[in-house]
């Protein structure tokens, strides 16, 4: 075996051979050094980290994005440490670097994996030019609770949609080859089920059955791993009594034994030592033992590994073979990234940040992310030639930072084009634009500026309200117990409504909001999430009909916060509600017999339906679904369902529709959801155009973990629906049949 140095690849060596070769030359402390990730505290990073890097005690640095400093950190590692092992440079590149995409929840609303992949590519190129070679994204925590601040960062409530989005983002970040310039390692997070935190309070406890873990929360992670994601990040949360960072069931049984994951797991920020706070570990040493035994390869900033693992190995409590296994996965990613061939970044090798293609990508994504929730009397799109003046009102009409949303460490707000600027540019010389902010922040209370807003609306042909949440009200540790529009925004809507002028509301937010108190006060309602750098042009083009809204909700919108958790793929229960059993609390006769109000699963004061269902979104087109059919009423196990529908745009404008396919497994050895998304397709149709949309669903996609935790597709009767949202009633039936005779069965 040639002893090529790690930086001189022996031509015949594979990555695994190079890993083994290098590992065989490392001391124990150098191995544990690779498991240690330190934070850059800013400009003094060289003084802070020079010696630990020289000593081989650092495998990764996060939060340094000055490419000159990053190159110097890499030089110290490569030229001044004994073995010259380059560093992983990590950063939260969640939905863009300098050029910002819509928040991931908004990207999910595009139902377009292609644009999500393009957006991640843009982010990777910009991040890589700063020396970043590892992003802590995509976050794929499913959640059914919009109170949770981090709903903004994920892809909503559905495992199929989130899996498609996660895979697209992984491929965008990692490119076709991790060693290519502009490719960065991705990180599926937070493993696992962080989105199930009680009451939506961040970092809170999660109690989840193994059935729910496997059939729901784990699915996007499996999809990301099958797509080749390089790393995972452990969740902060306590999962059924064992915090994820110390959870062997998750990290070893599922991730390594069942899924054979070969990448590595990084803890979350100091989440190893948080095992002490959780009450799982006595002290740092105990926490390090718990996390390394569970299979967490790298510790983010807590330094319990570097301080305690050497002794734990010396004392025989941790086998060096375990360290070798965990370190090998880290080294493998470094070799795959090509860092041993070149650890340095030359920004001129990559396109400049904010280039026209980058801006167009994020504009396209924003355009496709906006969801039209209401359009009374087809008020939208506006025709400038029929307008003399418009009033733009509200705290988010001209808020370049806010529209970027949460988790934008490196976002360049100076590049933001706001809705106000975009509309003024487009209407310049044609229509007078009167802008009144009316509220300093989204939480402001009624003030005399409300009168200014009312006056502007009264004098305009139409009032466009730009409302919602500032970005600081969503994201990590920013959960809300009340998810109405903050402050006195609803009062502002009421006062503008009272002018009698047509009212359009454009909402920017990092979560589903309870809009019940304004939805009847506006004629048209657009939900734009936090749309990113080019949110303004996207919103303006939709308001003016340059394009039609095409977004669909990736998360259910409750009527009231008390309905949470409310989601489309619920179980039927033994007493399912139906429209005709719902009463309205105000109408109840106080002496009504106990059983007279409908003994089913609903709330007296909210019913059981959401304000807007998962998958919902209107269009300026007019889409009609006809002739839904299945190719055969029986589908043998191991073959595929073929279902199709004719889609026609009977509207007057070209538009895009996201056609969705849902199934229901009517009987299972565990109860199954009343609907499950199994396919979707974004289709553009000209006015009058008809197309046939066909879906192919393999019976393996109908599989689930049963009461014995076996992944099975059971023969039996299924419903299948196709439509424009999860409420679709366009249905056909089919049966999965087991054509194998008993003696043919394995
Ligand atoms: C944070 C987040 C995690 C992020 C990490 C580094 O606390 O939970 O998602 O990647 O720390 O910033």
Each residue of 192-203: pLDDT tens digit? 999 999 999 999
Ligand 1 in reach of 268 Cβ (< 6 A): yes
43: left (phi over 0), alpha (psi -120 to 50) or beta: alpha
Residue 493: what pLDDT? 98
Provide the annotated active-site residues: 268
pLDDT surpasses 90 at 9:
no
Q: What is the residue-averaged pLDDT of the chain?
A: 96
User: Position of tokens 């084009």?
Assistant: 417
pLDDT surpasses 70 at 152:
yes
Question: 117: which 2 tokens?
Answer: 């992949």
Mutational pocket test of ligand 1: of 136, 148, 245, the residue with most ligand atoms within 8 Å of the beta carbon: 136
Ligand 1 in reach of 216 Cβ (< 6 A): no
Mean of pLDDT values over 427-440: 97
> What would the pLDDT profile of 392-413 be if each residue is shown by its tens digit?
999 999 999 999 999 999 999 9
CA of 407 to the centre of ligand 1 (A): 10
Rounded Cα distance between 513 and 528, Å, is 12
Residue 144: what pLDDT? 98
- Note the helical H segments in 502-600: 535-543
> What would the pLDDT profile of 70-110 be if each residue is shown by its tens digit?
999 999 999 999 999 999 999 999 999 999 999 999 999 99
Percent of the chain with pLDDT over 70: 97
CA of 563 to the centre of ligand 1 (A): 29
Percent of the chain with pLDDT over 90: 94
Domains detected in the chain: 361-543 (3.40.50.1700), 623-737 (2.60.40.10)
Residue 504: what pLDDT? 99
Q: Residue 565: which residues within 8 A CB-CB, separation 6 or more? A: 144, 145
- Model confidence at 596, pLDDT cuts 50, 70, 90, reads confident
pLDDT surpasses 80 at 324:
yes
> What would the pLDDT profile of 719-739 be if each residue is shown by its tens digit?
999 999 999 999 999 999 998
Number of DSSP helices (H) and strands (E) in the chain, helices first: 19, 26
CB 361 within 8 A of CB 118: yes
DSSP secondary structure string, 263-307? SEEE--TTTTTHHHHHTS-SSHHHHHHHHHHHT--BEES--HHHH
> What would the pLDDT profile of 682-701 be if each residue is shown by its tens digit?
999 999 999 999 999 999 99
Q: What is the pTM of this model?
A: 0.97
Residue 578: what pLDDT? 85
Mutational pocket test of ligand 1: of 38, 194, 231, 268, the residue with most ligand atoms within 8 Å of the beta carbon: 268
Ligand 1 in reach of 402 Cβ (< 6 A): no
> What would the pLDDT profile of 290-315 be if each residue is shown by its tens digit?
999 999 999 999 999 999 999 999 99
Question: 568: which 2 tokens?
Answer: 């489309």
CA of 268 to the centre of ligand 1 (A): 6
Rounded Cα distance between 382 and 335, Å, is 55
C-alpha distances (whole Å) from 553 to each of 129, 557, 647, 651 are 34, 8, 20, 22
Q: Residue 442: which residues within 8 A CB-CB, separation 6 or more? A: 395, 396, 467, 468, 469, 470, 473, 485, 486, 487, 489
Residue 42: what pLDDT? 87
CA of 136 to the centre of ligand 1 (A): 7
Residue 11: what pLDDT? 66
Ligand 1 in reach of 64 Cβ (< 6 A): no
- Model confidence at 744, pLDDT cuts 50, 70, 90, reads low
CA of 409 to the centre of ligand 1 (A): 12
Residue 136: what pLDDT? 98
Ligand 1 in reach of 269 Cβ (< 6 A): yes
Share in percent of the chain as helix, strand, coil (round to 5): 35, 20, 45
Question: Could you identify the atom of ligand 1 that is nearest to the CA of residue 269?
Answer: 11
Residue 585: what pLDDT? 87
- Model confidence at 1, pLDDT cuts 50, 70, 90, reads very low
Residue 2: what pLDDT? 42
Ligand 1 in reach of 92 Cβ (< 6 A): yes
Please name which of 286, 347, 304, 353 lies closest in space to residue 100, comparing C-alpha atoms. Answer: 353
Q: Residue 625: which residues within 8 A CB-CB, separation 6 or more? A: 645, 646, 647, 659, 722, 723, 724, 728, 730
Sign for the pseudo-dihedral over CA of 445, 451, 452, 453 = positive
Long-range contacts of residues 215-220, Cβ cutoff 8 Å, at least 24 apart = 215/704, 215/705, 216/142, 216/159, 217/141, 217/142, 217/159, 217/192, 217/193, 218/192, 218/193, 218/254, 219/159, 219/160, 219/162, 219/163, 220/140, 220/142, 220/155, 220/159, 220/162, 220/163, 220/166, 220/188
Q: Whose CA is nearest to atom 6 of ligand 1?
A: 269
CA of 683 to the centre of ligand 1 (A): 36
Beta strand pairing call for 690-698 and 640-649: antiparallel
- Model confidence at 746, pLDDT cuts 50, 70, 90, reads low
Neighbours of 309 (CB within 10 A): 28
CA dihedral 108, 110, 114, 119 (to 10 degrees): -70
> What would the pLDDT profile of 543-591 be if each residue is shown by its tens digit?
999 999 999 999 999 999 999 999 999 999 999 998 777 678 888 899 9
- Model confidence at 8, pLDDT cuts 50, 70, 90, reads low
pLDDT surpasses 80 at 19:
yes
């Amino acid at each position: 075996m040639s002893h090529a140095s790690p930086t001189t690849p022996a031509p015949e060596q594979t990555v695994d051979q190079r890993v083994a070769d290098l590992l065989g030359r490392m001391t124990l402390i150098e191995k544990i050094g690779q498991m240690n990730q330190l934070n850059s505290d800013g400009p003094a990073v060289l003084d802070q980290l020079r010696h630990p890097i020289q000593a081989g005690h650092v495998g990764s640095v996060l939060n340094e994005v000055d490419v000159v400093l990053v190159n110097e950190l890499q030089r110290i590692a490569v030229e001044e440490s004994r073995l010259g092992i380059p560093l992983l440079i990590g950063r939260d590149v969640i939905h863009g670097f300098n050029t910002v995409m819509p928040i991931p929840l908004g990207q999910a609303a595009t139902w377009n994996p292609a644009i999500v992949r393009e957006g991640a590519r843009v982010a990777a190129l910009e991040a890589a030019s700063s020396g970043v070679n590892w992003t802590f994204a995509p976050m794929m925590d499913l959640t059914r609770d919009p109170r949770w601040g981090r709903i903004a960062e994920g892809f909503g409530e559905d495992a199929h949609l989130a899996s498609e989005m996660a895979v697209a983002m992984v491929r965008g970040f990692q490119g076709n080859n991790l060693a290519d310039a502009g490719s960065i390692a991705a990180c599926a997070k937070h493993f696992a089920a962080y989105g199930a935190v009680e009451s939506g309070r961040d970092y809170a406890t999660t109690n989840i059955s193994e059935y729910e873990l496997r059939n729901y929360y784990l699915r996007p992670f499996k999809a990301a791993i099958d797509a080749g994601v390089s790393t995972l990040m452990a969740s902060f949360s306590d999962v059924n009594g064992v915090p994820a960072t110390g959870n062997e069931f998750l990290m070893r049984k599922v991730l390594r034994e069942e899924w054979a994951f070969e990448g590595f797991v990084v803890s979350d920020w100091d989440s190893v030592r948080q095992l002490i706070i959780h009450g799982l570990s006595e002290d740092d040493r105990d926490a390090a033992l718990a996390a390394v035994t569970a299979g967490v390869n790298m510790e983010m900033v807590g330094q319990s590994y570097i301080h305690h693992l050497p002794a734990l190995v010396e004392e025989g409590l941790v086998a060096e073979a375990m360290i070798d296994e965990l370190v090998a996965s880290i080294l493998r990613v470094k070799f795959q990234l090509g860092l041993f061939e070149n650890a340095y970044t030359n920004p001129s090798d990559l396109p400049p940040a904010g280039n026209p293609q980058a801006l167009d990508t994020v504009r396209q994504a924003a355009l496709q992310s906006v969801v039209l929730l209401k359009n009374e009397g087809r008020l939208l799109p506006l025709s400038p030639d029929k307008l003399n003046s418009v009033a733009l009102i509200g705290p988010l009409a001209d808020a370049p930072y806010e529209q970027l949303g949460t988790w934008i460490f490196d976002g360049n707000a100076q590049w933001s084009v706001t809705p106000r600027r975009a509309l003024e540019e487009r209407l310049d010389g044609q229509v007078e634009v009167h802008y009144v902010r009316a509220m300093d922040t989204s939480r402001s209370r009624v003030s005399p500026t409300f009168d200014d807003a009312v006056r502007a609306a009264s004098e305009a042909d139409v009032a466009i309200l730009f409302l919602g949440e500032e970005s600081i009200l969503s994201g990590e540790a920013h959960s809300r117990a009340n998810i109405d529009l903050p402050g006195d925004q609803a009062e502002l809507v009421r006062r503008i409504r009272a002018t009698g002028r047509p009212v359009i509301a454009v909402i920017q937010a990092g979560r589903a909001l309870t809009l019940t108190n304004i939805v009847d006060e506006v004629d048209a309602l657009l939900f734009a999430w936090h749309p990113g750098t080019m949110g303004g042009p996207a919103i303006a083009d939709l308001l003016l009909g340059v394009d039609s809204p095409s977004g669909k909700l990736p998360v259910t919108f409750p009527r009231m916060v008390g309905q949470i958790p409310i989601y489309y793929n619920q179980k039927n229960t033994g007493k399912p509600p139906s429209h005709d059993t719902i009463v309205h609390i105000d109408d109840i006769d106080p002496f009504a017999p106990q059983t007279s109000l409908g003994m089913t699963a609903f709330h007296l004061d909210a019913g059981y339906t959401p304000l807007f269902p998962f998958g919902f979104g209107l269009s300026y087109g007019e889409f009609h679904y006809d002739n839904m059919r299945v190719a055969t009423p029986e589908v043998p196990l191991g073959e595929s369902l073929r279902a199709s529908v004719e889609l026609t745009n009977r509207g007057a404008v070209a538009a895009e529709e996201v056609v969705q396919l849902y199934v229901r497994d009517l009987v299972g050895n565990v109860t199954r959801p009343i609907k499950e998304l199994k396919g979707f397709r974004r289709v553009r149709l000209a006015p009058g155009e008809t197309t046939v949309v066909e879906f192919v669903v393999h019976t393996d996609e109908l599989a689930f973990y049963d009461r014995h935790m076996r992944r099975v597709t059971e023969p039996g009767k299924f419903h299948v629906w196709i439509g424009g949202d999860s409420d679709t009633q366009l249905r056909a039936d089919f049966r999965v049949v087991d054509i194998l005779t008993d003696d043919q069965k394995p």
